[in-house]
A and B are shown apart, each in its own frame.
Chain A
Amino acid sequence: MMPIQYDADVIVVGSGAVGSNLAYELAKQGKSVLILEAGVWVPRWKIVENFRTSPRKVNRNDPYPNAPWAPNSYTPGYIENTGEFDFRPGMLRLVGGTTWHWGGATWRFLPNDMKLRTLYGVGRDWPLSYDELEPYYTRAEYNLGVSGSDTQDQSGQRRGAAYPPRSAPYPVHNEEETYYFQRLKERIGAEGYEFLHEPHVRTNRPYDGRPACCGNNNCMPVCPIGAMYSGEVHAKHAQAQGARVIPDATVFRIEKGDGGKIAAVHYRTSLGNDARLTARYFVMACNGLETPKLLLMSDVANSSDQVGRNLMDHTGIGLQFLADEPLWTGRGPIQQGGVFNWRDGAFRSEHAAIKHAINNAVPNQEVTRILLERGVVGKKLDEQIRHMSARWVEFSTTFEMLPHAHNRVQPSTIRTDALGIPTLKVHYETDDYIARGAARAREDFARFVAIMGGTVIEDHTGWQNRDHLMGTVLMGDDPRDSVVNHECRSWDHSNLFMATTGVIPASGVVNPTLAAIALAIRSADIIAKEI
């Protein structure tokens, strides 16, 4: 019998942080890997220039080329919302993916986050334990150069010792806290609020060819010096290990083969040329919206009817106020942590866990816009810009969302992009679980403002996107109600894996990218053993 020829051992669809880490791990182990990316390579300096010359600095996607053949999520009509909430995360299409613009927060989920159903009777459990994932968390942290505190209880529950357990110290020690963060911690913390320093990927010492963060305050929409990790780092590392990145290759079909296996993927270039590639294994790593869309378009992996369902974001609300003293927000990185009293506890059977993240972005544009709206001009305008900027405080609060079958993403039936590929249709509704959480959070807001002698600018923002896409290809123990198993392997196709935050079945309240990378490294090890 002739041996079957494949184009690669493994094809990874998507070159973001999750897919690229998986590709790198496989290439490092000698496997032949192809990475297909809808977008293209763009040099950092060009993105920096695009940012500075953008008229819409508030728009995180704007510095990135938005081609009709690889449209980003802010393209008008690209996401057709049928629910009450305008679900519109800022997703990018270029080599390196959306981690080109993220805050870079890399918390670990807590052991309890993974047992939500068991402990609190709501939502779902993860099909693996924290202890099983822990070694891969460590590897992910060392890949990314995560800086963090080795002594802090990250559950916010004041155990008095480092938590959750770790098998190795953080690769980089955490950076100094800003004066702004110190003062908020001193005053608000004194009233019983638990401030935590976030682990993150803005390295503060040279790491893996990246320079140390020097506080350019521009993590979103682009770190100008590459101190902050993005998926491009491992797209390049994967290449250096022999993987091949094929840009301008939008996968539009997954082809089923014999024996329940996937046989090939089909991609289309910007010129409309189609190609078919075969491999032993396939990994879908094109984020929590595009991945389920592609599966649904291909009628793949959906025997459970759960593909695209259970869509979760850490839907949030915000608070802006002026403190009674100058704090000088805007010095250093754009965020450093926040208030975590509500990260875990028995209350989770009643309402969502809460993370009050503290923003540290230079506020001049928002301050100036407000002053101009008020008609302030002349010397007073300059004086007020300085006065308000010095006192600006901003919280970005997020909630733990539960999976609901009706919150879902599907291929659009009425729109296609320039390649003729369906765009996205999203239905997303908030629920009482986060509404009760939000009520609790607003009580905190009132306390924060009172403690800081504050003047409220905005404390009723309405629901906000947080761009943490989970649940749409969720993992579980039962093939009847989940899309992948604990290995992130499709229940339906033994050679198909998902490498995306979309596999996460219980959202906790922390940024999910690190967990997805840890899971993807674990999947890479599993795939490598089978090839």
Chain B
Amino acid sequence: MTVRKIAGLVLCGILMGSGPAKASESASIFSSQTGPGENLAQLIARGAYVARTADCAACHVGADGAPYAGGYEIASPLGTIIATNISPSRTFGIGGWSEEVFARALRMGVTPHGNLYPAMPYPSYAGMSDEDVHALYIYLTHAVKPVERGPTVGTRLSFPFNLRTLMTGWNAVFSRQKPMAHAATAPGGIERGRYLVEVVGHCSSCHTPRNFAMAEDRSQFLGGAAVGGWFAPNITSDPISGIGGWSEDELVTYLRTGAVAGKSQAAGGMAEAIEHGLRHLADDDLRAIARYLKSVPPIREAGQREPAYGVAFAQPSNFEALNLGHDRSPAAMRDGASTQGEQIYVAACAACHQLHGEGTSDQFYPSLYANTATGGTSPRNLVMAIVKGVHRETNDGTVVMPAFGAELNDAQIAAVSNYVLSRFGNPHLSVSAAEVAGYRIGREEPLVVKLFGPAGVVAALGGLAAGLAGMSLARRRRGDGSDGAVAKMRIED
């Protein structure tokens, strides 16, 4: 399941703690938690739907796939963050938390064990309505099976980011959203779309660029941002840089299936978001999301003149002129070192995407022109699809593109990417082997570290802890780590 390792926290909520959560607050007893007149089954169903929409399970999954067991590794620019157990285990999970304690963690990033880091999108969840918080709490504590074990390793970050108290200052500056009213945000409510996008679905965690302190830059809301090696594109209403050229139906189809012929196919974190969350949502909710996105203030990328899917046809080429295959010597026939982009394209890609990049007539194997992965302003998603492949479970079977990251080296991936960009996509883009290597790792230093260095962060920002946001966090599934005490530091040099 390579793809589950993919970067990008499109919809995941992560409660992070320095160690296993332990029971500390007053016990929650089932019947006492439902209010008068509430039907428990209905409440659980609504909570489950909120959990789907917030995609809690994607990050809080156990290393062995156990739901909400925790242990999933999130590699951030500053170290490794481990998602915690949020099952109702009283020893290892949130079984001992009152609803009030739960709500503080969810909305404010403050747990009985200290501050969370904003890889858990609590700045978004802060807007969650009281009713949805309640339903989510009831669902997690009543309908989820307790997992009686914690992650074997805890979050380990480098100085000064390991100081959780620094987040208090960060929160004061960057996490100030207030809970929204239930009436406006419930299904059918006038604020439903905004609520799904901004709050529960936390789309902006990936699609909004971060500022110097790695908080979302509200002036660039949904304007597109790098996430690990991938690029979460501009989804504002701008017709060129955003989704303004998409019809509402196309957006709904995309959120449901991850594929719209002639526009885009979801990979990486977006494929995960669709697989775990979006495809399970009600049609009305997807429509509300689509409508709201089409109302988000447009952001135009300077210099962009046509939408990323706007490349209407392939540039001509003549692969026959490559004159391959003359040399039938065994040495030539086993030599897989070529960095000739067209040669690699024909042999490794064209079986599905076809010689002229047109894909199959049913577009199950999509065309490479009229495709946001090739025609946009970043080569990242093309490169990462080649490196990591595509894996997207849909309601209609699973879509897979095999990963070529092991079979092709960085120079070969750069070569074939550049061939694809020049022939099917944005010919002004190109990518180097070194850039491919960087995307593979999927982590870039945040600006604050680049500017000041780790030690300078404290001095320069006066205790304002940056970093560690959902941005450029590469999730990695743990192996069965038996060495419980020590987590390796994973800071980039």
Contact present between A and B (CB < 8 A): yes
Please judge, given known A-B contacts A211-B401, A214-B365, A225-B402, whether A53 and B348 are in contact too, CB under 8 Å: no
In the docked arrangement, what's the CA distance between A50 and B347, Å?
A: 9
In the docked arrangement, what's the CA distance between A44 and B352, Å?
A: 14
Q: Which residue of A lies closest to B325 (CB)?
A: A53
Task: Tell me which residues across on chain B come within 8 A of A212, comparing CB atoms.
Answer: 397-398, 400
In the docked arrangement, what's the CA distance between A206 and B324, Å?
A: 32
Task: Tell me which residues across on chain A come within 8 A of B403, comparing CB atoms.
Answer: 209
Whether B348 lies near A67 (C-beta < 8 A) is: no
Q: Whole-angstrom distance from the CB of A136 to the nearest CB of chain B?
A: 25
Q: Which of B40-48, B252-260, B327-335, B485-493 contacts A (4 or more CB under 8 A)?
A: B327-335
In the docked arrangement, what's the CA distance between A225 and B352, Å?
A: 8
Please judge, given known A-B contacts A42-B336, A48-B347, A65-B334, whether A209 and B2 are in contact too, CB under 8 Å: yes
In the docked arrangement, what's the CA distance between A224 and B355, Å?
A: 14
Task: Tell me which residues across on chain A come within 8 A of B270, comparing CB atoms.
Answer: none
Question: Is A64 in the interface zone, CB < 8 Å from B?
Answer: yes
In the docked arrangement, what's the CA distance between A54 and B343, Å?
A: 15
Please judge, given known A-B contacts A209-B2, A216-B351, whether A45 and B400 are in contact too, CB under 8 Å: no
Q: Is the interface of A mostly helix, strand, loop or mixed?
A: loop
Q: Whole-angstrom distance from the CB of B26 to the nearest CB of chain A?
A: 47
Question: Is A133 in the interface zone, CB < 8 Å from B?
Answer: no
Whether A206 lies near B333 (C-beta < 8 A) is: no
Question: Is A375 in the interface zone, CB < 8 Å from B?
Answer: no
Q: Whole-angstrom distance from the CB of A61 to the nearest CB of chain B?
A: 11
Q: Which residue of A lies closest to B391 (CB)?
A: A206
Number of interface residues of A (CB under 8 A): 31
When each residue 30-47 of chain A gets 1 if its CB lies under 8 Å from chain B and 0 otherwise, what string results? 000000000011111110
Whether A49 lies near B330 (C-beta < 8 A) is: no
Whether B324 lies near A49 (C-beta < 8 A) is: yes
Q: Which of A46, A52, A205 makes the CB contact (< 8 A) with B334? A: A46
Task: Name, among A45, A46, A64, A226, the residue most crowded by chain B CB atoms within 10 Å (CB to CB).
Answer: A45
Q: Which of A52, A53, A206 makes the CB contact (< 8 A) with B400? A: A206
Question: Is B407 in the interface zone, CB < 8 Å from A?
Answer: yes
Task: Name, among B347, B348, B365, the residue most crowded by chain A CB atoms within 10 Å (CB to CB).
Answer: B347
Q: Which residue of A lies closest to B351 (CB)?
A: A224
Question: Is B346 in the interface zone, CB < 8 Å from A?
Answer: yes
When each residue 473-516 of chain A gets 1 if its CB lies under 8 Å from chain B and 0 otherwise, what string results? 00000000000000000000000000000000000000000000
Task: Name, among A206, A210, A216, the residue most crowded by chain B CB atoms within 10 Å (CB to CB).
Answer: A206
Q: Whole-angstrom distance from the CB of B77 to the nearest CB of chain A?
A: 28
In the docked arrangement, what's the CA distance between A212 and B365, Å?
A: 12
Task: Tell me which residues across on chain B come within 8 A of A129, comparing CB atoms.
Answer: none
Task: Tell me which residues across on chain B come within 8 A of A49, comparing CB atoms.
Answer: 324-325, 343, 346-347
Task: Tell me which residues across on chain B come within 8 A of A206, comparing CB atoms.
Answer: 391, 398, 400
Please judge, given known A-B contacts A49-B324, A209-B402, whether A65 and B333 are in contact too, CB under 8 Å: yes
Whether A205 lies near B397 (C-beta < 8 A) is: yes
In the docked arrangement, what's the CA distance between A43 and B336, Å?
A: 6
In the docked arrangement, what's the CA distance between A46 and B328, Å?
A: 12
In the docked arrangement, what's the CA distance between A476 and B101, Å?
A: 70
Whether A225 lies near B351 (C-beta < 8 A) is: yes
Whether A43 lies near B407 (C-beta < 8 A) is: yes
Task: Tell me which residues across on chain B come within 8 A of A42, comparing CB atoms.
Answer: 333-334, 336
In the docked arrangement, what's the CA distance between A226 and B402, Å?
A: 8
Whether A52 lies near B325 (C-beta < 8 A) is: yes
Question: Is A66 in the interface zone, CB < 8 Å from B?
Answer: yes
Q: Whole-angstrom distance from the CB of A74 to the nearest CB of chain B?
A: 13
Task: Tell me which residues across on chain A come within 8 A of B364, comparing CB atoms.
Answer: 214
Task: Tell me which residues across on chain A come within 8 A of B330, comparing CB atoms.
Answer: 65-68
In the docked arrangement, what's the CA distance between A216 and B334, Å?
A: 23
Q: Whole-angstrom distance from the CB of A493 to the nearest CB of chain B?
A: 34
Q: Is the interface of B mostly helix, strand, loop or mixed?
A: mixed
Task: Name, among B333, B336, B343, B346, the residue most crowded by chain A CB atoms within 10 Å (CB to CB).
Answer: B333
In the docked arrangement, what's the CA distance between A67 and B329, Å?
A: 8
Q: Which residue of B lies closest to A72 (CB)?
A: B330
The B-contacting residues of A in range 316-340, CB under 8 angstroms, are none
Q: Whole-angstrom distance from the CB of A201 to the nearest CB of chain B?
A: 16
In the docked arrangement, what's the CA distance between A109 and B449, Å?
A: 64
The B-contacting residues of A in range 40-89, CB under 8 angstroms, are 40-46, 48-50, 52-54, 63-68
In the docked arrangement, what's the CA distance between A50 and B325, Å?
A: 7
Whether A46 lies near B325 (C-beta < 8 A) is: no
Q: Which residue of A lies closest to B336 (CB)?
A: A43
Q: Which residue of A lies closest to B397 (CB)?
A: A205
When each residue 199-220 of chain A gets 1 if its CB lies under 8 Å from chain B and 0 otherwise, what string results? 0000001100111101010000
Question: Is B274 in the interface zone, CB < 8 Å from A?
Answer: no
Please judge, given known A-B contacts A49-B324, A205-B397, A211-B400, whether A44 and B407 are in contact too, CB under 8 Å: yes
Q: Whole-angstrom distance from the CB of B386 to the nearest CB of chain A?
A: 12
Q: Whole-angstrom distance from the CB of B412 to the nearest CB of chain A?
A: 9
Q: Whole-angstrom distance from the CB of A71 to the nearest CB of chain B?
A: 10
Whether B325 lies near A45 (C-beta < 8 A) is: no
Task: Tell me which residues across on chain A come within 8 A of B344, comparing CB atoms.
Answer: 45
Task: Tell me which residues across on chain B come within 8 A of A94, comparing CB atoms.
Answer: 334
Q: Whole-angstrom distance from the CB of A417 to the nearest CB of chain B?
A: 13
Task: Tell me which residues across on chain B come within 8 A of A46, comparing CB atoms.
Answer: 333-336, 347
Whether A64 lies near B333 (C-beta < 8 A) is: yes
Q: Which residue of B lies closest to A236 (CB)?
A: B406
Task: Tell me which residues across on chain A come within 8 A of B365, comparing CB atoms.
Answer: 214
Task: Tell me which residues across on chain B come within 8 A of A211, comparing CB atoms.
Answer: 400-402
Task: Tell me which residues across on chain A come within 8 A of B401, comparing CB atoms.
Answer: 211
In the docked arrangement, what's the CA distance between A205 and B397, Å?
A: 8
The A-contacting residues of B in range 329-387, CB under 8 angstroms, are 330-331, 333-336, 343-344, 346-348, 351-352, 364-365
Whether A45 lies near B347 (C-beta < 8 A) is: yes
Task: Name, among B325, B352, B403, the residue most crowded by chain A CB atoms within 10 Å (CB to CB).
Answer: B325
In the docked arrangement, what's the CA distance between A226 and B351, Å?
A: 11
In the docked arrangement, what's the CA distance between A212 and B352, Å?
A: 12
Task: Tell me which residues across on chain B come within 8 A of A65, comparing CB atoms.
Answer: 330-331, 333-334
Task: Tell me which residues across on chain A come within 8 A of B351, comparing CB atoms.
Answer: 48, 216, 224-225
Q: Whole-angstrom distance from the CB of A349 to the nearest CB of chain B?
A: 47
In the docked arrangement, what's the CA distance between A53 and B320, Å?
A: 10
Q: Which residue of A lies closest to B345 (CB)?
A: A45
Task: Name, among A64, A211, A226, the residue most crowded by chain B CB atoms within 10 Å (CB to CB).
Answer: A211
Please judge, given known A-B contacts A209-B402, A225-B352, whether A45 and B397 are in contact too, CB under 8 Å: no
Task: Tell me which residues across on chain B come within 8 A of A52, comparing CB atoms.
Answer: 324-325, 346-347
Q: Which residue of B lies closest to A44 (CB)?
A: B407
Task: Tell me which residues across on chain B come within 8 A of A41, comparing CB atoms.
Answer: 334
Please judge, given known A-B contacts A53-B324, A212-B400, whether A45 and B352 are in contact too, CB under 8 Å: no
In the docked arrangement, what's the CA distance between A130 and B364, Å?
A: 42
Q: Which of B333, B336, B391, B398 makes the CB contact (< 8 A) with A45? A: B336
Task: Name, among A94, A214, A226, the residue most crowded by chain B CB atoms within 10 Å (CB to CB).
Answer: A214
Please judge, given known A-B contacts A45-B347, A48-B347, whether A205 and B398 are in contact too, CB under 8 Å: yes
Whether A48 lies near B348 (C-beta < 8 A) is: yes
Q: Whole-angstrom distance from the CB of A395 to the nearest CB of chain B?
A: 28
Task: Tell me which residues across on chain B come within 8 A of A43, comparing CB atoms.
Answer: 336, 407-408
Q: Whole-angstrom distance from the CB of A28 to the nearest CB of chain B?
A: 13
In the docked arrangement, what's the CA distance between A40 and B331, Å?
A: 11
Whether B333 lies near A50 (C-beta < 8 A) is: yes
Q: Which residue of B lies closest to A48 (CB)?
A: B347
In the docked arrangement, what's the CA distance between A45 and B409, Å?
A: 13
Q: Which residue of B lies closest to A64 (CB)?
A: B333
Q: Whole-angstrom distance from the CB of B363 to the nearest CB of chain A?
A: 13
Q: Which residue of B lies closest to A42 (CB)?
A: B334
Q: Whole-angstrom distance from the CB of A49 to the nearest CB of chain B?
A: 4
Q: Whole-angstrom distance from the CB of A442 to the nearest CB of chain B?
A: 38
Sample of 6 more A-B contacts, CB < 8 Å, known A49-B343, A54-B325: A42-B336, A45-B336, A52-B325, A206-B398, A209-B403, A211-B400
21 contacts between A and B (CB under 8 A): A43-B407, A45-B347, A45-B348, A46-B334, A46-B336, A46-B347, A48-B347, A48-B351, A49-B325, A50-B325, A50-B333, A53-B325, A65-B333, A205-B397, A206-B398, A209-B403, A212-B398, A212-B400, A214-B352, A216-B351, A226-B402
Lowest 6 A-B CB distances belong to which pairs? Answer: A53-B325, A65-B330, A45-B348, A43-B336, A65-B333, A224-B351
